[in-house]
Amino acid sequence: MKRKVISLLLAATMTIGLLAGCGSGSGDTTGADTGTDSAADAQTQTEDQADEEGQEETAPETESASGAEDLTSLRGNTAPTEDEINKVNTTLNDTYLGDVFEKTIPNNYAAYPWKEEVTLDVWMANNSILASVCPDLNEHRVFKQLEEMTGIKLNFIVPALGEEATEFNLMIASGELPDIIMGAGRYTGGIAAGVSEGAYMDLTDIVDEYMPNYSAWRNSDEERRKTTVTDEGVIGGVYGIAPYNEWCWFGLLIKQEALDKTGLPVPETIDELHDFLVACKEAGYNEPLNYGSTYGQIFTGIINGAYGVWDWMFVDDDGKAAWGPEQEGAKEYLTTMQNWYKEGLINKDWATADFNQRMAEAVSDDCAVMMDSPDTMWGYWKEDNNIDFVAALNPVLNKGDASRQTYRNFKQTGSIAAITTQCENVEAACAFLDFAYTKKGWELYNYGSYGDVHLINEEGLPYFPTDGLMYNDPEEQPLSNLIWKYRLHDVADIRDEHNSNPLITAEGSYSGDIRDYWTNNMDSSVTMPPVTFTAEESAREGELGTILSTMRNEYFSKIIMGQLPVDAYDEFLASAKAQGSDEFVALWQAALDRYNAR
């Protein structure tokens, strides 16, 4: 830990245990800057925007490993020698890597190896999967290799599992800050508040000099630029930025055997889905639709979206911010779900079942249809139980209507990292974070070590060979765990999800095809972009969001389960208005206006 922050403003502003934004208690949106996959910041000042657009045109030339041995012969080589493996894993030579995306990944390695001995303290939250494969992040193979390549030593400070939010808030309130915080969007009020309240560094004036790779990458695309600054034009964090908009990851999945047993085609409308579920029940599937409640459904509106009743905030057809639960079709949607529940078409425990319970139900003979990720179900259904499945688009009310969903990541993925105001070697901290936006960083973070975990194909793209560690783990860990063991899935880097997620790329897997199909055949224009709030707005938005989400959850679940009549929705709507739903929408509209003006 570094010396204590002397900031009365910070101490007065932070309250222990307080969580920010609409995520506070609701888990309902991809909007506010409160989580690892949450919103980015942007700018509104025209002059600053013009300056950055000018940088986009005159991005600094990158300095590659010029003069290094040409290793392009490694492309397509399935049996590299120990010497070749060593040259890839311990040097900055990237000649074997290709330019495989629309935009070229930078490769300025001028800062490495670092010029002096330095150790950076990095606060990074663990998760149950990562902890199971690597209890001590200081021993993670990716970070160890990164230290060797950059010459920068890392000391990870990891909060206890389940105590991440509490320990983060205690750390911020105390003013005892590390050099770098991974998952910096946890800050109450987001990145902008972290900068304005003296916890996070303002990187605006130094990013071009000290982070040339990150600067070039974020300016290589207008969407990337727009989502990586605050509304005031401040660069307060280093954002995970994908080479593309990642595919939608959640939707309607149907067991092939259920289609075979019923003889019915993949349903396209709500009525067809109802008839299919009835036929499945008659065929022996006791609870054919595993409806789920909070795990992922909130991003897509699989059934409720047909009625225009999105789960949380969305952008309506006039381009205005709107709150899904108060839309006109809500009573019709609730009537449908109440009837389906009475008919026994959905799982009775839909409102309470956790992930493990849902997966147990999914592989049982009671379930025919899941609302989930094809990556997950490829593992649980196909790989573990040899159950083939197909995808359906989100159903519509009328045949021929466009299927819609509310998932789009705006090329923003992974975590946000921030350098704190207590960092004693800012240049070294910048160099460490900047490495993730080089070609070598892209390869290491996404694909792990060369030779034993990945090889390089003929185009210069890394891949996991069938006889490598990713598919032959000595401890026989499932692929969903190895995403974290041999590579890193959620950090501030260029996350290459489509090519480096082994659940997608595994031989025989068709989850990527499904995600591609959903993304390219459903309209996502209703998705709320990654807006940000001012500190004052964030506090109020979080307060109102918690109230409204609690109210929605209670009324909607009781109505669906028949504990309240559908007409109780009118009471819900009146109460929501009384509790400030109009003010809530106004806060989002103000943030959306600023985002659109960046």
Residues 63 and 180 in one domain: yes
CATH of the domain at 324: 3.40.190.10
H or E element that contains 285: none
Residues 358 and 444 in one domain: no
Provide the number of structural domains found in the chain. Answer: 2
Domain membership flag for residue 512:
no
Tell me the pLDDT tens digit for each residue of 101-140: 999 999 999 999 999 999 999 999 988 889 999 999 999 9
Residues 45 and 185 in one domain: yes
Domain membership flag for residue 183:
yes
Q: How far apart are CA 507 and CA 391, in angstroms?
A: 19
Domain membership flag for residue 516:
no
Residues 496 and 538 in one domain: no
Residues 542 and 495 in one domain: no
Domain membership flag for residue 209:
yes
543-570 core/surface letters (b: 16 or more CB in 10 A; e: else): ebbbbbbebbbebbbbbbbeebebebbe
Residue 328, Cβ neighbours under 10 Å: how many? 9
Residue 513, Cβ neighbours under 10 Å: how many? 13
Domain span at 272: 251-406+525-596
Predicted pLDDT of residue 68: 78
Residues 487 and 558 in one domain: no
pTM of the model: 0.80
Predicted pLDDT of residue 293: 62
Predicted pLDDT of residue 12: 32
Domain membership flag for residue 2:
no
Residues 135 and 199 in one domain: yes
Q: How far apart are CA 237 and CA 230, in angstroms?
A: 9
- Ramachandran category for residue 151: left, alpha or beta (phi over 0 → left; psi -120 to 50 → alpha): left
CA distance between the termini of the chain: 36
CA count, 13 A, side-chain hemisphere, 336: 19
Domain membership flag for residue 455:
no
Domain membership flag for residue 493:
yes
> Hunting for tokens 């692929």 — which residue is that?
479
Q: Which two tokens stand for residue 35?
A: 């989580």
Domain membership flag for residue 382:
yes
Predicted pLDDT of residue 413: 86
Q: Which two tokens stand for residue 39?
A: 């919103």
Residues 56 and 143 in one domain: yes
Q: Which of 60, 338, 350 is nearest to 217 (CA)?
A: 60
Residues 387 and 311 in one domain: yes
Residues 158 and 191 in one domain: yes
H or E element that contains 410: none
Residues 544 and 578 in one domain: yes
Q: What average pLDDT values come out for the chain (598 residues) when binned by 10 residues?
A: 34 31 32 31 33 37 59 96 95 96 97 97 93 94 97 97 94 96 92 93 97 97 92 94 92 97 98 98 97 58 94 95 96 96 94 88 97 92 94 96 91 92 98 98 98 98 97 92 94 96 92 96 94 86 93 93 97 98 98 92
Residues 233 and 107 in one domain: yes
Predicted pLDDT of residue 536: 83
Judge whether 327 and 309 are in contact, CB under 8 Å: yes
Beta bridge partners of 261: none
Pairing status of strand 321-323 against strand 313-315: antiparallel
Predicted pLDDT of residue 67: 62
